[in-house]
Structure 1
Amino acid sequence: MQCSWKAVLLLALASIAIQYTAIRTFTAKSFHSCPIPNPVNCSLSQDADAADRLCDESPTFAYNLSRKTHILILATTRSGSSFVGQLFNQHFDVFYLFEPLYHVQYTLIPKLTQSKSTTDRRVMLGASRDLLRSLYDCDLYFLENYIKPQPVNHTTDRLFRRGASKALCSPPVCESLGAVDLHLEEGDCVKKCGTLNLTLATESCREHGHVAIKTVRVPEVSDLRALVEDPRLNLKVIQLVRDPRGILASRSETFRDTYRLWRIWDGTGRKPYNLDVTQLTTVCEDFWNSVSTGLTRPPWLKGKYMLVRYEDLARNPMKKTEEIYDFLGIPMDSNVERWIQNNTRGDRSSSKHKYGTVRNSAATAEKWRFRLSYEIVAFTQRACQPVLAQLGYRAAASEEELKNLSVSLVEDRDFLPFS
């Protein structure tokens, strides 16, 4: 098959653009470069000019001079990740972003569904890692490559779930708020703050001591190895897992069209012949692969990885949150404590919003036991048996046991951080 010279030229230009993006990411200015193996040569206590000369004249190795802690919440949809994100969003010194990789997914793979193919899932990883690296460096302009329509003069009203980030709904990013607006609902933030100025957002990020990002769009912790080992970052991964039976029940209720066949099975007792079981098995495979990597404790994850079960957090949110902050080496402030107290004892009406975080956390973790038929539960237990055992989730032996909340289906396990 012959190609026209125009097609060849376009391919060459595309290749150059991709290489430029990669080079640009790895040469970000805000991370200082210093000689190895003695990074103290660039100590802030030294004369700045002398330090710069020394760094310019020696072999260089980039590292994170500011020592910000970069936090990644690695999760899947309907696993409690919005709740965990708020544990960082409420901290006064944490700049939190809610699902920025959404824009990568819907720019590169617009029709991607919950049952992603392996090829589609991997297409995103290179672009996602580059974007994460830039965001941890507080380079929010890099997002403009993926926001559609593209921002004008670094302003946009299309950032996904902007209102879920407290920093993006507070001064200096949002100057129109008064004293009564300190606790804005997500929708009110967008209405009162107007378009998002990415320059102000970048400045706000740099003023915070730490950066936290939540994503459900990276399949496994091994996909993050390049970032974990990047000396310019101080990346720590919180992997959040949940009982796959609970995830399936929550997705079936939240994404009613996508999971329509599961609901038909649940309602009629007849399994549809064209049921897409990968909507379940993909979750279990990703959990198995990722958790297996974390639990084998490879050297590159030392001090960088913590596994958290949603059920443990739901049953004892204050204690588990303290453990998370201890792992990160960040003091937990009173704003976080107050938010936990106010948002883990919600009544039934407070949990109606599908992405809401105000609810009775302990009851929410068990609700799936009354939502799914025992036939679907038994199918899930067979399909996901290895990961259920790995994470300490017990199989329900009968419908009676499933509905009996005095019988716990969560084993007592201590998944200690790898430190």
Structure 2
Amino acid sequence: MQCSWKAVILLGLASIAIQYTAIRTFTGKTFQICPLTSPLNCSLGSDGEAFGGLCDEFPYFFYNNSRKTHVLILATTRSGSSFVGQLFNQHSDVFYLFEPLYHVQTTLIPHYTHSRNTADRRVMLGASRDLLRSLYDCDLYFLESYFKPQPANHTTDKLFRRGASRALCSPPVCDAFSPSEPYIDEGECIRKCSSLNLSLAVESCRERRHVAIKTVRIPEIADLRALIEDPRLNLKVVHLVRDPRGILSSRIETFRDTYRLWRIWRATGRKPYNLDLTQLSTVCEDMLRSTTTGSSRPLWLRGRYILVRYEDLARNPLQKTTEIYDFLGLPMEKSVEEWIRNNTRGSNDISAKHKYGTVRDSAANAESWRLKLSHEIVEHTQTVCQQVLEELGYKPVNSPEELKNMSVSVIEDKTFVPFL
């Protein structure tokens, strides 16, 4: 019995490997590789099979017929990513998905948290990249392997936050709302639309010229290199960052059980001995690695990466959104501008307090953490996250009085120029 714990670990790892292998075996989709000398012959799937012999004789070349713009919003939890996602969701020609990698996480690592070790977090990456590649190709059937029970006739009610996607609440997927509907409430979508027909969702995706996906489940930008360099995709990354002090404050308020010990520290002024400090350090380490990679400007990120501070977006939402759209080469629509005006002026409505809500007095919310965190917690955060705070232009506060003095901002005026 001395080795029983090792056997349990080995069995667990083997189980994860078997699950992932099965998913790849039954849902894997091959892409046709075409000769460089005949790009007109290039295609995806079986249409290019007639040129299979030629593909063995020439340099390989992939061709994206549609040249869709594929957008990935790379963020961490409680950094404003739901708000940024809506900036794309409101565009009539964008097919938007809210956190599809949630299904990878709950299948492969059900008890995954940000404080887990690096090995655990990396288990998801291969499966996540495969799913993202399929979704950008509008192959939503790939998701079915992660649904339990398996969908019948490609129909399911298991898609996480289906109502957060306007495209999945509009024709041809759902006839309860007209395409011109100015605002579709997520709850109303769930109530009025029937179960999600993935075949209709695929049709909706293919009708639109762009696909945008939000995720907080990719640790850092380097994990996306294989997708960014994949010539079958036209992937561009919007890297959203936020002051770690603001992230921590928001998590303490939102995830009350997970961050219970932080709440005790804030209330009593005494740091619990068993406080999980990796809940903070992991965030800052991942953010620093990504920003360092981005600022070093490797060739594989050229024209593919833009860094956006949440605070800049909160203070000047229309201006920053226009800059993001310009970088991506997307035309700004009046519907997006109208949504920004209606969702950044604040609200007393209870929906504004929902953890995924996007109605905010955005300018006031940018530094509201200063009124919620104790100076001791802020000092600790500044020590743990010193490098990334300096890199991103977040100033330290050195006293309780300075912390509460909202007339003086702790955000430097700093410009982050996209690598073009």
Q: What TM-score results when the alignment is normalised by the length of structure 2?
A: 0.90
Indicate conservation of the 8 Å contact 1:22/1:130, yes or no.
Answer: no
CA distance in 2, matches of 1:367, 1:167: 33
Indicate conservation of the 8 Å contact 2:33/2:42, yes or no.
Answer: no
Give the counterpart letter for 1:416 in structure 2.
V
Match for residue 172 of structure 1? 172
Give secondary structure in 1 for the equivalent of 2:206.
Answer: helix
CA distance in 2, matches of 1:374, 1:179: 49
RMSD, aligned CA: 2.6
1:388 aligns to 2:378 (yes or no): no
Indicate conservation of the 8 Å contact 1:221/1:290, yes or no.
Answer: yes
Equivalent positions of 1:167-316 (< 5 A) are: 167-177=167-177, 183-316=183-316
Match for residue 94 of structure 1? 94
| Cα distance, 1:111 vs structure 2 | 1.3
Query: Structure 2 vs 1, CA of residues 25 and 224 (structure 1 numbering), >3 Å: closer, same or farther?
Result: farther
CA distance in 1, matches of 2:417, 2:88: 20
Indicate conservation of the 8 Å contact 1:35/1:41, yes or no.
Answer: no
CA distance in 2, matches of 1:255, 1:16: 30
Indicate conservation of the 8 Å contact 1:42/1:55, yes or no.
Answer: no
Match for residue 6 of structure 2? none
Give the counterpart letter for 1:418 in structure 2.
F
Mark the runs of 5 or more structure 2 residues left unpaired by the alignment.
4-9
Equivalent positions of 1:348-387 (< 5 A) are: 348-349=348-349, 351-387=352-388
| Cα distance, 1:126 vs structure 2 | 0.4
Indicate conservation of the 8 Å contact 2:19/2:108, yes or no.
Answer: no
Give secondary structure in 2 for the equivalent of 1:183.
Answer: coil
CA distance in 2, matches of 1:132, 1:108: 16
CA distance in 1, matches of 2:133, 2:354: 32
Query: Structure 2 vs 1, CA of residues 42 and 180 (structure 1 numbering), >3 Å: closer, same or farther?
Result: closer
Out of 54, 57, 75, the position equivalent to 1:57 is: 54
Indicate conservation of the 8 Å contact 1:42/1:52, yes or no.
Answer: no
Give secondary structure in 2 for the equivalent of 1:171.
Answer: coil
CA distance in 2, matches of 1:343, 1:217: 26
CA distance in 2, matches of 1:178, 1:68: 24
Deviation string 1:276-311 (CA, Å, 9 cap, x unpaired) is 010000000000111111110111111111110000
Indicate conservation of the 8 Å contact 1:228/1:236, yes or no.
Answer: yes
| Cα distance, 1:66 vs structure 2 | 1.0
Moved more, 264-273 or 344-353: 344-353
Equivalent positions of 1:108-127 (< 5 A) are: 108-127=108-127
Q: What TM-score results when the alignment is normalised by the length of structure 1?
A: 0.90
Match for residue 412 of structure 2? 411
Match for residue 30 of structure 2? 27
| Cα distance, 1:56 vs structure 2 | 5.9
Match for residue 345 of structure 2? 345
CA distance in 2, matches of 1:343, 1:147: 33
CA distance in 1, matches of 2:356, 2:96: 16
CA distance in 1, matches of 2:352, 2:327: 30
Query: Structure 2 vs 1, CA of residues 39 and 367 (structure 1 numbering), >3 Å: closer, same or farther?
Result: farther
Match for residue 4 of structure 1? none
